[in-house]
Structure 1
């Protein structure tokens, strides 16, 4: 080996040829025999040869000085050598540099050799020289690739102190390369270079470059995808980097892609390992046939917006994204037009129908207007990707809470009120459905021979535009003051309309279960006024002495509950305690992104298992999936890196906004992907902790 080193340093052509060719063969066939620590002079000799590469910066269009001092200039491509002495000499010199670089590249694969090279400042300077050579010289492509491979091997042992480090800047310049091999090597080298450095070097990377790397994960290229994710993991490890990108990177879309990659190349378990759940099948609940009625306070808020923002906010309040849902364009437009028709007469302007349909993609990015050809050849114009909500959503992203009280009497159908908070809903139930002194049922003598109607009230017109108000506790009223439905077919008069258009003598007979039409006496005048405003209640006749003698009984008719049927219970507190078990928890109407699906209790189009979707009919096999694992059975590869990037994003200041509403999807992945289950659980903990910190 000493002779090889001396031959390299001799600069004698024949000796150098022999020495370098021997080293190339040894580094390829028996790389374990090539140890720089055993031969201290070997690495400096090879680096010295590599350090002379800067003389080729003008190669392919170069000037060369001959032995007699004459300067020869040529434009010949080095791959098409001329017969001149100048081109032949340059070719041989470049070959020697390439051979030295190849030996260093093969030797650096050994971690001990890579550590040895990382301690050499001369080696770092030589690598920077080679990486900063002109990138448009075809003859230098091979040399550049060897140097990138060397940097990739030694990067783990380097400790740059700032983003102005010459080697880091040289590598960052290749992140915009269109050469796949160069880009992969540069990304891998930078990811390894910053992994053990506390300084945030990656903040110096241009945000357009980061956006390009984010876009590259959409390609079906596993090697490129892996290095892009490695880079993004190091980039997002510093939370401030997420804010630095500004609008250049669509982090919401990136989060969606990362969730998709959590099941990248997932393999289903064999059938024998699948779990079998007997006597259960999941069915999707049909979407609502019409959008929900909007409460007056939400309508007034919408009226404060100019077009087209008003149309956008209305669509988000009444509809939600659903990849399998669709709404006809005419029905959507008619619903909007009908809802604001009365206000148009008062001077408000609506968005034209054509512009309204185009605006759908602004409200919902995944929605699209399309034409469907029916079997009979008839064309149907639809908006694909949305469906009506069960209950409206406020401009803050909070779902209204719907009262599901329904009586067994056909004269009193399901309550249609909805409220902006759980507290308002509970006040409504106490005041309307379970009052302190419900009206007993009339005597049989009062139920016969109904008298002609008198003093019937007529429907009042829609109220004029009110001044701005800060009180949002206005429920959805089904009475005469309520606006028209949103352009969809009406379901007929409601119970309150029937009652107010009928005289006392024609009113349906009241029983303890229909006592929900009375207002609860409230001690506080403000609370009483709020309860009355939340749910307008028709007047009721005073109780007679004979009525007072009858026992007062209470019932629960939440969603058809028969807990106290048919005789009821005289203990009001007991009934109220039971009703509380039906009321949704406080998290029910937490703010959601505009494109989020409603909670499972509100919609089940995604197949979420609820009481409405579990049908005892047949067997269902739940098959688990497994992504890449290492030799110890631990998660690895692209799915693991994607999960770790999501965890970094969740820790940032915008983590709550970016991951809000996606917990259900993450839980779904954890349910089927066993290797990632613990990592996703950690991610969910970070999301929850971030929410508590912000709140």
Structure 2
């Protein structure tokens, strides 16, 4: 058996040419056979190369051999990189592609036989093998449930055996049961959650009023509006792979098939002639009527429609039981597979949902809306909706309807079931248009615009609150693709929702209105907004509700961008409170942040001329070490790297020798020779420090890249502290100490002459005591009379005690882990602190949120006020412009915010420029 071909073939031009020739031959083969050819099929998200798949299977012995060997299709699927997630279903999808596209071609060109008719090959499932021996006489399809393929999908691949019926869900109050929780509002396509279809034949109808689960649901759920948050469960108990592989196929292009004649396709022509003769022989009684039929009809073992197609057909059937089945599953599909469930793949689905939702009017009015597409139908039926241009007088028709007497506290079973179906249809439509492709698809459906107007003008009853919220969610997604005139019924209906007392209704309405024409070239002028609505929106900016304030500012930004609207505001409303509130909102959520800035660049001090004295305690530590570790530690404590400085080798060696030569005879630890000592310098500091010969009149042997430390450090790199007590002649003591206690003892003993006692304390003597630490003049005018007064003051000059967190790392790790310190000769310049006001920003650091919206509204007002007619009238009557009247009182605050808020500075600059030069 030849090994499968590798991916390297895909990159060669020769292989690409060969693949195109193969696809051309395969296309002709399928046209002659009368089957659908798909040149670039997909399994999941991966495109399948038919030539590579064909060679892979043929090299393994062909379709029948591969299908007979266990798990071989999964192995092939792994070679095609289909992934490990649900590999059995993906492998079956790959097998189905070969079965439908390549199996008959293989039988013809590899095995030299006539393939079985397409009715028992391409038109049925790919389950099983034995294609070489399959005939109409010996083939018996297995009896399966009523699911079937949808395009390239296969029910056996996905495990789609139907969605569970509404009466088999169990208690809908149980988390994860997958019952009525799917009615929740879905904010975005959720993470893929699989569901288990079920098509059990004995399913109760939803008209059974004694259903315990349904009753429990209504008792538990109660009334719910858009202001009530609701999150559906993240996973369901019944899991299936039915929808994991579902991917809508693009619309198939129109294919032209040649007429079958003896000249262009003699084999197919002969087969059809034989079928006609066989049918005539049966009709004339020459052949018994019990002869096996040519076609496998539905109901006799043929796979029925897929769950998706079945739901669509059931919804369009108009049968209540079938619609109940369809809508129950469509809600689940639209929520769980909403990211791939597209209207364009199911023609008529959007129209069927709209027609179902329209039935809600019959529950409250004596009306039955029909959608008409001909002028004759519109003229004959007063309750017909114009499906072509939209119904311009829909609001007048609604106002003329006769209201039914409905008790909203007690609903009949028929009313309840009908309203439930309507809500499910609206929820399905709402979930599906969250996908942008679906929203754009239905945005030009005039019946949908009429439907939204009808739903939003239903009576103000609790039973329709849920449906109205679904309608507002739909409008929010669609208005970005729509433009409205002032008299448009949907526009008027959306503006009317601003008078509601429901926070969710107001929020969604504001968002829908603000999004009008967002994705169109024409601007949203927002004309015809009532003064009461604008006044309410201005008042909502005073609330402590960030979401509602943000939606109100978004509306005002769109509204104030039009000069006529600004003229209407200053003429009919009080705008001064709005400007004051917008100015306050510029600091919404502001945090004061202090940041220091250096007043210059860093600078370095000159290198000391002499090597610093070695502290006594450091001397004691070095005496305990052996060579060469002692010389290395001595170098680290008194020298540091500086590529611009150098030290003569003789000076360094003499300092080392003078320090440790007296000690060598006492301890028996000999010093390093001079040559070894110089080599150890480079070993201690690395390659940046090296011994060199400096040329000149007199050659010098130097260590390049090293400088003397002004203050020695200990083994951890921590600097010592210098005693700054002045002696006679104003000379400084200059001794170094690491511990503040040692320095304290040193000052009292050596400089003040305190008398120690047996307990380690000092005798509190009397006398004239003054402080001579550095430039300190304490007690110089009025000396201290007791030693304790001076001793207490001396502690002010002592270095801070090292934190216990800085213990030697050897206590924890057993070895030294020194930190890398900043060079001691580099000093930072003084810094100055500035305070900034930081408001909300996006990921790029630009202004965002409420402060940005507020400054944009203010800028629109400043730019457009001078263009209004009210401005001309004000200048003639009072001589004071509207810009000065509104912005002069807050101009100082605007300048202050501009100086402190860096993210808003650019926008405030434009605003103040517009105010100054209006």
- TM-score, normalised with respect to structure 2: 0.34
Work out which structure has the larger RCO, using CA pairs closer than 8 Å and 6 or more positions apart in sequence.
1
Larger radius of gyration: 2
- TM-score, normalised with respect to structure 1: 0.45
